[in-house]
Structure 1
Amino acid sequence: MATRVTRNRCRLNISFFPWPACIVGVRVVFIGCTANRDDQKQVSPVFRTRASLACPTRFVFIPCQLANVNQRCHPDSGCQAVASSATVHRALPSTSWRKQPDSIAIERIFMLLLRSLRERCTFAPHTRFTTRPDWRHLRSSLASAWRFIKGTRAMQPCKLPDTGNLLLRHARVPAGTLADVKDAPAPGSDGLVETDIAIDDGRVVGLGLPLQRSSAAMPVIDLDGAQVWPCYVDIHTHLDKTHSAERTPNTDYSLLGAIRADQRDQANHWNDVDLRKRMNFALQCAYAHGTAAMRTHLVSTASLRRLTWDVFTHLQETWADRITLQAVSQVAMEDLIGTGGRELADFVAERGGVLGCTISGSPGPDIAPHLDTVFALAAQRELDLDFHADENLDPDSHALRYIAETALRTEFSGKVAIGHCCSLSVQHVSEVKKTLDLVAKSGVAIIGLPGTDLYQQDRHPGHTPRYRGITRLHEMQQRDIAIALGSDACRDLFHPFGDCDLHAVFAQAALLGHLDSDLSNWPLAVNRTAAELMGLADTGTIAVGSPADLIIFSARSYGELLSRPQADRLVLRQGKPIDTTLPDYRLLD
C-alpha cells in the first residue's frame, strides 16, 4: 500500500548519487513524501527500508544507459512531474557529484546494490524473479554508465575553462576540415578522423593522437568520440529581409507573390532602426548556433542602396570580433547595364563588397552580351561575382550554362558563385551533363539552398508538390565542382521559417539530396568551401595556428548528428565557450 500524502506538501527534488547508484541502474525512483501518513508501509517496491519513509518527496535520477524512461509521482501525491533521460543529461553536474542528503546514506545505496545482485542483477531490482547474477550484463552496463558520466562531464559548457587553453581528447573531426595532422589514424568509412586538439591562447597548437599537455595546468576534456567541427560559414543569406514574414504576409505563397510582398514591406517598414533591429537579431541567432562568417545579399536599388549598405557597414564593425560579414549587391541583371551599372559597381568596390545580380526567368542565348558586361564590370574593379540563377523548374532555363561559358570566354580570374540552379533538377540528363561539364571547366562554384528551394519550387495552391527543387548536388560532386550550402531566406517573404542555423540546413540537404549515402565530404559545404569562396584564410578549417573556433556536438556518428537538432552543442570562439542562448522573438516586437 502506498503512503498517503497531501497535495500541497509534495515537492519535487532532484538528487544525484555516485557510482553505486549507477550500478543499481534505476533511473527514476519515487522514494517518499513528507506528508500526513496513515501507515508506515513501503512506498516503492525498490526501497523496502524504513529510511525510505523518512526522506522528503524525491525523485532519484540515476545516470545509466540512456533510454526513454518516464515515471510519475505516486497518484496520491498530486505531483505530475515527468522525468526522462534527456532531463538527466542536462542536469548532471560536470565535474563532481552533489553531496547526498543526510536522509539517504550511501549504505542504503549499497543495500540496493546487494538486493539487485541477489534478485536478478539485470538492472531490474523491482522484479520478484530470483536468478543467478548476469555478470556480463553487469560489466557492460557499468561500462556504459561510466562512458555516459564521462561524456556528460565533458559536455557541460559552464565547466569548460574560459582561459582559451585546453586539450580536447578523442574528438572525431570530418577529415576534409583538418590540416597539419600528425600521427592521426586514417579516416573511418564515414570520413571522420579521431584526433586530439590542443588549444593554447585561443589558437590550435596541436593535432594528432595522442597529444601531451603543454603544461600540467592545462585542462583535459575527454570527448569520448564526440564530433568537433570548425565554426560555420554561411555563404548565402539575406539579412536585410530577415524576420519580415509575419508583418507583410505573402497571401498566395508563390515566388511572384513573395516579390510583390517584399516590395510592399520595403516601402512601408524599411528604415535605419528597423533594419538594424532585424539584422542584429539574425546575427545573434547565427552566432549562438556557431557561425563565424556570413555573406549577405543586400537590396541595392538606387532608392535603397545607401540605407542597406550603411546599416550593414555599422553591423560589420559592431560584429567584427564575432562574425566576419561580407555583402553582395542584389539587383536585377538589367540594372547593371549602362551608367547605373558602373555606378553600382563603383559603389560596391568602395564598400569592399561582391558584385551580384539576379537573372530572372528563363533566358536564352541572347543573354551573353549582358553577361559580358557584368563580368567586365567585376574584372575592371577586381570584384568577385555572385548570381541568383535558374530559380525555377523550367527545363529550358540555362542561365547556369551561359554564366559558365562567359567565365571561360572572358577568362575571368575572380571567384564566381551561383545560387539556386533549380532547373537542373528537371532537365534531361544530356543537358545536365553539357552544363555541368562547362561548370567544372570554368571553376564556377554552386550554392545549394535547400530550405528556400524546397519551400518555393513546385508550389501551386491546393496541390501537393511533386518536385523537391534541390539542384544536382551528387552530379556536381562527381565532377569536383565546389559546392557550398547556405541558409538563404530566413523568416522572410520567400521562406517564413529558419533560424540562420547551418546545422538545420545541412540536415535538410542530407535528407532532400540523399547525401547520407556518403557524407564524408559534405561537411565542407558549410565551412571550408564557403570560407574559400569568401576569401577567408583562417576560417572553416581546424589547422595548427588557426583560431580555435569550434563546434562540439554530443553526437558521435552522422546518424546521431542528423537525428537531433543539436541544441546542446558547445561553441568555442578562440578556445573559449560562448553563451549559446538564443534571443527571444519578443525583441522583434
Structure 2
Amino acid sequence: MPNLLIADVRPWGGEARDLLIADGRIREVRPTGTDPDGVEARIDGRGLLAVPGFVNAHAHVDKSWWGMPWVPFGGDRGSTQGRIAHERAVRDGLGIPSLSSTVAVLREFLRHGTTAVRSHVDVDLGVGLRGIETVREAVAELGGAIDVEIVAFPQDGVVRRPGVLELLDRAAAAGAEHIGGLDPASIDRDPVAQLDGLFEIAVRRDVGIDIHLHDGAELGAFQLELIAERTVAAGRQGRVNIAHGFALGDLGPGRRAELVARAAEAGLTWTTVAPVRTSPLPWREMRESDVAVGLGTDGIRDLWSPYGDGDLLAIAQTFARLHGLVDEAELTYAMELATRRAGRFVGRREHDLVPGARADLVLLDAENVPDAVVRRPVRELVVAGGRVVAERGEVLV
C-alpha cells in the first residue's frame, strides 16, 4: 500500500488535521497545510468529521440469508428454545451457512463503516466447524478489508448435546479466539456443568469466553454471580464477556450495584445490541466501575429476525435513545462505545485516530459527533488498514 495522506479532516470534530498513513497504520497526525515527503497518494478530506472505524462487538455473520429470496419469519418467537428449534429445522434447506450471504453481510458492514467484528459462529453437531470455515473464507475473499474475531458459539446448548464441548475444543485449537456459552441455567439446565466445561477449555487453550445470557431478573443474576466467581477463580479477568445480560437492567438499584461491583472485580466485559422493549443497562455505574461495554448488530436478516442492515451507527443511536442520552458528552460516549472504546473486543490495545493505531477510519459530513449520532449521515469514506474500502456507500472490495 502506498504512503497515504488524508488531508483536512476533523478527528472527533476538533481542529483540522492531516493523517499520514504508512504500512496500514497511522504514522502521524499533523497540522494541515504542508504535505510531508514520501507521500504517494493524497485524499482531500474536505473538512469532514473523522472517527475511528466502527467495531461490531456482537454479530452472527454466519446465520444470514442476505442476498437470498425473502424468508418468511417462523418458529416460536416467544422463547429462545423455540427459535433454536426453528433455525435447526430449516437452515440446511436454505444453505446456511452460506459463503455468498456471509460475504454480503461483511460488505454491508464495510459500507456502513465497520472495519472490525467479533462474530459468534454456530458450532453444533449438525454443522460441525463448517460455519467457522465459511466465515474465514468470506474474510479472505474480501482481501483483509475487515478484521473478524471468531467466537465458537454453541447455539443449541453445551452439555445437553454430547459432543459439543469437543467441538468447542477443536475450534479453539484451530484458532478461534473465543468460545461461547448460552444461558447455562435455562438452556442446559446445569450451569455448573456448562461453566466447568467452558472454563476448562478456555484455560487449557488460552482463549476468551463470550456467554449469551438472556435470562432476566434473579435467574440471570444468579448466573452472573457464578460466571464472575468462576472468572476470578480461573484467573481469567479481562477474558470473559457477557452478551446481552438483560438481568442487569431488570433489578432494583441495590442489587444492580452489587452485580456491577462483582462484574468489575472479575474484569467482565459486556456487549449489547440495545434491543427495543428491554430495560436500560446501568451504563453510568458500569463506566464508573470500568466495566467495558461494546455494541453489536446481533443477527442480520436471519431465522431469528428479519431486521438489520449492518449499520453500527444505528445501534449507537438506538443505545442513546434507549438510555436517554441527550447532551453532547453523552452522545459522544455512544459514538465512543461503537469505536475507540470497543477496540478491546477485537484484540486491539489502541483503536483511535492516533499514531501507531491501525489506520481504520470513517469520514462523515457532520457538524460534530453528536450530530453524526442523531442524524446518521452517509459514510463518505471508509478506510481499513490504510486502504480505501468504501466511498459514499459503494463498497470497493
TM > 0.5 between the two? yes
Aligned to 1:511: 321
Among candidates 342, 359, 366, match of residue 530 of structure 1: 342
Unaligned segments of structure 1, at least 5 residues: 1-161, 174-191, 455-466, 585-589
Among candidates 333, 349, 352, match of residue 175 of structure 2: 352
Segment drifting more, 474-483 vs 573-582: 573-582
Counterpart of 1:556 in structure 2: which amino acid?
E
Among candidates 146, 160, 182, match of residue 323 of structure 1: 146
Counterpart of 1:508 in structure 2: which amino acid?
T
Aligned to 1:186: none
Among candidates 191, 198, 205, match of residue 27 of structure 2: 205
The superposition leaves residues 326-379 of structure 1 with CA deviations (integer Å, 9 ceiling, x where unpaired) of: 221221595258973552233112321111111156599973454233212210
1:120-519 counterparts in 2 under 5 A? 164-169=3-8, 171-173=10-12, 193-201=14-22, 203-209=25-31, 212-215=34-37, 219=42, 221=44, 223-224=46-47, 226-243=48-65, 246-250=70-74, 253-256=77-80, 257-270=82-95, 275-331=98-154, 335-336=158-159, 340-353=163-176, 354-359=178-183, 367-368=191-192, 370-389=194-213, 391-398=214-221, 399-412=223-236, 415-450=239-274, 453-454=275-276, 467-517=277-327, 518-519=330-331
Give the distance between the partners of 1:480 and 1:317, measured in 2 at CA: 35
Cα distance change, pair 339–439 in 1 and its aligned pair in 2 (3 A): same
Give the distance between the partners of 2:190 and 2:83, measured in 1 at CA: 28
Deviation, 1:523, is 2.7
Native 8 Å contact 2:379 2:392 kept in 1? no
Aligned to 1:64: none
The superposition leaves residues 436-471 of structure 1 with CA deviations (integer Å, 9 ceiling, x where unpaired) of: 100011111000111xx32xxxxxxxxxxxx43443
Native 8 Å contact 1:395 1:423 kept in 2? yes
Give the distance between the partners of 1:234 and 1:443, measured in 2 at CA: 20
Give the distance between the partners of 2:195 and 2:45, measured in 1 at CA: 54
Deviation, 1:473, is 2.3
Give the distance between the partners of 1:366 and 1:221, measured in 2 at CA: 58
Cα distance change, pair 306–506 in 1 and its aligned pair in 2 (3 A): same
Q: 3-state SS of the aligned residue for 2:373? A: helix
Cα distance change, pair 330–220 in 1 and its aligned pair in 2 (3 A): closer
Deviation, 1:503, is 1.0
Q: 3-state SS of the aligned residue for 1:315? A: helix
Give the distance between the partners of 1:371 and 1:547, measured in 2 at CA: 35
Deviation, 1:481, is 0.9
Q: What's the RMSD between the two structures over aligned residues?
A: 3.2
Give the distance between the partners of 1:522 and 1:208, measured in 2 at CA: 27
Unaligned segments of structure 2, at least 5 residues: none
Q: 3-state SS of the aligned residue for 1:305? A: coil
Give the distance between the partners of 1:575 and 1:506, measured in 2 at CA: 25
Counterpart of 1:254 in structure 2: which amino acid?
G
Deviation, 1:323, is 0.9
Give the distance between the partners of 1:414 and 1:333, measured in 2 at CA: 26
Native 8 Å contact 1:379 1:413 kept in 2? no
Counterpart of 2:352 in structure 1: which amino acid?
T
Cα distance change, pair 530–560 in 1 and its aligned pair in 2 (3 A): closer
Native 8 Å contact 1:248 1:261 kept in 2? no
Q: TM-score, normalised by structure 1?
A: 0.59
Native 8 Å contact 1:379 1:414 kept in 2? no
Q: State percent identity of aligned pairs.
A: 21
Give the distance between the partners of 2:168 and 2:326, measured in 1 at CA: 41
The superposition leaves residues 182-235 of structure 1 with CA deviations (integer Å, 9 ceiling, x where unpaired) of: xxxxxxxxxx543513324454232254674214987574644x3211111212
- How many residue pairs are counted as aligned between the two chains? 386
Deviation, 1:412, is 2.0
Cα distance change, pair 523–435 in 1 and its aligned pair in 2 (3 A): same
Greater Rg by CA: 1
Give the distance between the partners of 1:167 and 1:320, measured in 2 at CA: 22
Q: TM-score, normalised by structure 2?
A: 0.85
Higher relative contact order (CA 8 A, sep 6+): 2
1:109-128 counterparts in 2 under 5 A? none
Cα distance change, pair 206–313 in 1 and its aligned pair in 2 (3 A): closer
Bigger fraction of residues in strand: 2
Counterpart of 2:58 in structure 1: which amino acid?
H
Deviation, 1:582, is 5.6
Counterpart of 2:304 in structure 1: which amino acid?
F
Q: Does 1:542 align with 2:353?
A: yes
Give the distance between the partners of 1:163 and 1:536, measured in 2 at CA: 24
